[in-house]
Every structure is written in C-alpha cells, then in structure tokens.
C-alpha cells in the first residue's frame, strides 16, 4: 500500500514555507489517498489536507488537480463567489503530494442520509441548485469538465453563512480540449454520451447536475442503475424516449446496448411505430444476454412510477398544510420542467449552466409555461498557451 501512515499529532511540513500541518482526524479515504483534518498552529485554524498516494499515476493526477484548482481559484473566481473549494497550499512531503483545502463540513450524500433518504424541501433544493450552477458557470467558462459531480463531492460549508455549499474534488477533472479517458463519472450520475462511448463536452456535468437536483428532492438517485445496461434502460423508461440516432451513430458502445432496426419495422402498435422511425432499438434483457453471453445486472425497483413527471408529481408530500400543498404542486411542475432541460439525451440541446440559471425554478419567479432558454452566446474559444519547444540549435520553432 502506497498510503502514508497517519495518526493524531503526526506533522506534515511544507519545507519551502515551513508551514506545519498537525493531523487531528481523518476525513476521508479513497483510491487516490487520504484526507486529514489538520490544525495550523500559527492561525489556530483547521484545514483539510489531501495526501495523495506515493504512486506515479496518482501523483500526476494530483498535479492536474492542483493546476485546475489554481486556474479556477485565481483566474476565474478570485473573490471566492462561485462555490468552488479554495486550495490553500500544496507541497511534497516524503514523496507524497499534499494539497491543503479550506475546511468544509459534511457532504450532500451524508446530509441526504441524515434526512433518512426523504429528500429536502423544495426551497432548499432551489438554494443548492443555484449554488451548484454558480460553480458550473465558471467551470465551463474555464473550459474544464469536472467529470465526477455527485452528492459526495459537494460539501456544506462550516462557515456561518446559511446553507452554503462548495464543489470539491477536481481529481478527475480535465480540459474540454483534452478528453482522453472514456471511463469517467460515477455510475448514477454518468451521462448517456459517456455510457455510449461518444465524444463528450462540459455538458456531461449538466447531466450529473440534473441527477443531483432530482436526488436532493427525491432522497434517492434518479437513475439507480446496477449496471450500464440497467441505467440506460432506466433513462429510456423515465424520460420516455431513447437517445437520438445522431448520438447513437457516434457511439463506440452502441452494439452493446442497441440493435439496428432500420425501416423494416412497420406495425400497428403505436409504440413500435414510433420506434421504427429510429434506426436503432434498445436490446431486451434476452437479446443482451445472447450478445454478451451473460445476464444484464438489474437493480431493484425504487419508484412506484416510471415517468419523470409521475415520479416527481406523485412523490409523498413533506407537508400536510393545504396552502403549502398547492404552492408545492406548482413548484414541482417547475422542477419537472427544469429537470427536462438538464437530463436530455442530446448533449447539444441540454441546457448550459448559464441557460439553466435563468429557469423559474432557480430564480423563484412564477412558473407559467415551459421554459425556453435564451440563445447560447457563441463560445469564443479560450486561447491557451501552447507548449512550444524552441530549438536553439536548429534555430526555428518545433
Ligand atoms: P476522492 O477523489 O477520493 O473522492 P475527495 O477530494 O472527494 O477525494 O475527498 C474525499 C473525501 O474527503 C470527501 O468526500 C470528503 O468527505 C472529505 N473532504 C475532502 N475535502 C474536504 C474539505 N475541504 N473539507 C472537509 N472534508 C473534505
Ligand atoms: Mg470525491
């Protein structure tokens, strides 16, 4: 094991600045390494220090996390107004990369759990949504994809500010121009384009965001799939449609989940007629088994309803006051409309963080009709400094 052995009062040192971090407690453990709550004697403050495993791959990934966070913190959010965790320091201690962060509180999964998986009242869901969007706006502007947005990676601030949250864990993040990995995102929050093996963009974070908003209200994941097949099937059933042909044409994993039907299907049955207009059809469990020589893993049923609208509208009330119920009903319709803009199969139609931030569910304006997002302002490509090797011998740019 390449983890550092930590115990109470163990001292981590940044030898360049002579800053000491005295281990107080453990906050988390994962594949990357450990997170320790540390005391800083000079300021009498606690900080969270992520101690990355002594292993080249993790070390490199840790360095990427440092560079992405310094870009976000310093260039895009210098005044700490965008709900992104602050990085305070980083250093190498005994061959381990250590990253110090501001100390935050419990994560949203722990909060959901402590509410016994009943979900939060809509006003709290709205407050959280607004803050996550504030983070996603600058993350997208910086040309970064978080790639692991989920309740565990959103932490409640310990500061006095009411219900402030922050997005953490840029350990899987990448530049939109450098999408090198295809196996990313945590399963429940994994976007259809990633599941299908298509090229992906910052829109995958908006899919995860939609799943999180739904979960904050419902208390359990919107697509609690036990396998990739299971999650895709749940998406298709809940959204009442299948991924568009254009997306499926670009999908490396298409044949794992879909068969080609073309136009041979012409039947009286309405459902099949609708499907026949598409070129591909989602496999049945039997067809999947025949292709993969194994049964698909199917999880249990969590909801009494299948369609998104029914799941949200019929969710048990958290109040029994009649005047609150009618108001809640209206807000639930706004929530459904909001979710529909986020969890759409087509990443190009999926709302951007800025577009989503004007939705009545977020702004609190009355919801009167389905929201039409304002036009996307065309993205001016971010000019990045390109690493060029000047070769003094040859005397020209390589
Ligand atoms: P991983 O890549 O393993 O998910 P994270 O950066 O998400 O690493 O950290 C793992 C866990 O450590 C988090 O889920 C959280 O519980 C805890 N943690 C991380 N950063 C902080 C922080 N700034 N304040 C408090 N706890 C934190
Ligand atoms: Mg994490």
The predicted pLDDT at position 276 comes to 53
Q: Which residues pair with 34 in a beta bridge?
A: 29, 51
What digits encode the pLDDT tens for the residues 122-142? 999 999 999 999 999 999 999
Which numbered ligand comes closest to the C-alpha of 172? 1
318 known member of a binding site:
no
What digits encode the pLDDT tens for the residues 156-165? 998 866 789 9
Nearest CA to ligand 1 atom 11: 28
- The answer to whether residue 148 is catalytic is yes
Please, which pLDDT band fits residue 387 given cuts at 50, 70 and 90? very low
The predicted pLDDT at position 269 comes to 52
Distance (angstroms) between ligand 2 centre and the Cα of 58 equals 14
Nearest CA to ligand 1 atom 5: 169
Among the options 77, 79, 141, 148, which is catalytic?
A: 148
Integer Cα distance of 167 and 159 in angstroms: 15
Which numbered ligand comes closest to the C-alpha of 65? 1
Please, which pLDDT band fits residue 15 given cuts at 50, 70 and 90? very high
pLDDT at residue 35 above 90?
A: yes
ipTM value for the complex: 0.99
Q: Is the CB of 3 under 6 A from ligand 1?
A: no
What digits encode the pLDDT tens for the residues 97-112? 999 999 999 999 999 9
Q: Is the CB of 58 under 6 A from ligand 1?
A: no
Please, which pLDDT band fits residue 372 given cuts at 50, 70 and 90? very high
Q: Is the CB of 171 under 6 A from ligand 1?
A: yes
pLDDT above 70 as % of the chain: 90
Distance (angstroms) between ligand 2 centre and the Cα of 169 equals 5
**Segment among 13-22, 53-62, 224-233, 314-323 with least mean pLDDT:** 314-323
The predicted pLDDT at position 263 comes to 56
Q: Is the CB of 170 under 6 A from ligand 1?
A: no
Question: Of all atoms in ligand 1, which is nearest to the CA of residue 85?
Answer: 23
Q: Where would I find the H helices in the chain?
A: 56-70, 108-114, 122-141, 192-196, 203-218, 228-239, 245-249, 254-257, 270-276, 285-292, 308-313, 322-342, 353-357, 360-363
The C-alpha angle with vertex 38 and arms to 35 and 41, in degrees rounded to 5, equals 160
Q: Candidates 65, 108, 169: which one to mutate for ligand 1, based on the most atoms within 8 Å of Cβ?
A: 169
Nearest CA to ligand 1 atom 1: 30
pLDDT at residue 396 above 80?
A: no
Q: Candidates 155, 158, 170, 171: which one to mutate for ligand 1, based on the most atoms within 8 Å of Cβ?
A: 155
**Segment among 28-32, 44-48, 196-200, 294-298 with least mean pLDDT:** 28-32
Integer Cα distance of 283 and 307 in angstroms: 20
pLDDT at residue 19 above 50?
A: yes
The predicted pLDDT at position 288 comes to 97
Encoding tokens for residue 336?
């459904």
Q: Is the CB of 86 under 6 A from ligand 1?
A: no
Beta carbons of 262 and 279 less than 8 angstroms apart: yes
The C-alpha angle with vertex 340 and arms to 337 and 342, in degrees rounded to 5, equals 115
Report DSSP letters for 285-345, one per residue. HHHHHHHHSSPPP------S--SHHHHHHTSPPS---HHHHHHHHHHHHHHHHHHHHHS-S
**Closest Cα partner for 262 from 246, 244, 240, 281?**
281
Q: Is 209 left (phi over 0), alpha (psi -120 to 50) or beta?
A: alpha
**Segment among 137-141, 222-226, 342-346, 380-384 with least mean pLDDT:** 380-384
Helix (H) and strand (E) counts for the chain? Answer: 14, 15
């Amino acid at each position: 094991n390449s983890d550092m052995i930590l115990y109470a009062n163990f001292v981590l040192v940044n030898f360049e600045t002579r800053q000491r971090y005295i281990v107080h407690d453990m906050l988390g453990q994962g594949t990357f390494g450990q997170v320790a709550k540390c005391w800083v004697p000079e300021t009498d403050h606690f900080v969270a220090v992520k101690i990355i495993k002594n292993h080249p791959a993790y070390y490199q990934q840790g360095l990427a996390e440092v560079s992405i966070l310094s870009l976000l913190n310093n260039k895009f959010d210098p005044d700490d107004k965008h709900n992104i965790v602050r990085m305070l320091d980083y250093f190498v201690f005994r061959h381990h990369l250590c990253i110090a962060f501001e100390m935050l509180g419990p994560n949203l999964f722990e909060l959901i759990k402590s509410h016994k998986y009943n979900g939060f009242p809509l006003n709290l869901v709205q407050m959280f949504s607004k803050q996550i969007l504030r983070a996603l706006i600058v993350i997208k502007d910086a040309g970064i994809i978080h790639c692991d947005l989920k309740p565990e990676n959103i932490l409640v601030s310990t500061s006095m500010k009411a219900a402030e949250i922050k997005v953490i864990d840029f350990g899987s993040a990448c530049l939109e121009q450098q999408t090198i990995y295809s196996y990313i995102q945590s399963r429940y929050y994994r976007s259809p384009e990633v599941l299908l093996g298509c090229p992906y963009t910052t829109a995958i974070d908006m899919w995860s965001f939609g799943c999180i908003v739904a979960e904050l209200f419902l208390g359990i994941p919107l697509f609690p799939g036990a396998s990739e097949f299971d999650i895709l099937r749940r998406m298709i059933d809940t959204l009442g449609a299948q991924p568009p042909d254009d997306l499926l044409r670009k999908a490396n994993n298409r044949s794992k989940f879909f068969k080609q039907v073309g136009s041979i299907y012409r039947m009286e049955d309405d459902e099949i007629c609708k499907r026949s207009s598409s070129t591909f059809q989602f496999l049945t469990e039997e067809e999947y088994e025949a292709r993969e020589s194994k049964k698909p893993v199917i999880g249990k049923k969590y909801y009494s309803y299948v369609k998104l609208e029914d799941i949200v509208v019929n969710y048990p009330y958290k109040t029994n006051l009649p005047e609150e119920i009618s108001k809640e009903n209206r807000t639930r319709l706004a929530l459904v409309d909001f979710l529909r803009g986020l969890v759409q199969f087509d990443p190009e139609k999926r709302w951007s963080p800025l577009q989503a931030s004007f939705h009545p569910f977020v702004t609190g304006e009355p919801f009167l009709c389905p929201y039409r997002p304002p036009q996307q302002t065309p993205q001016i490509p971010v000019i990045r400094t390109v690493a060029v090797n000047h070769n003094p011998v040859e005397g020209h740019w390589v």
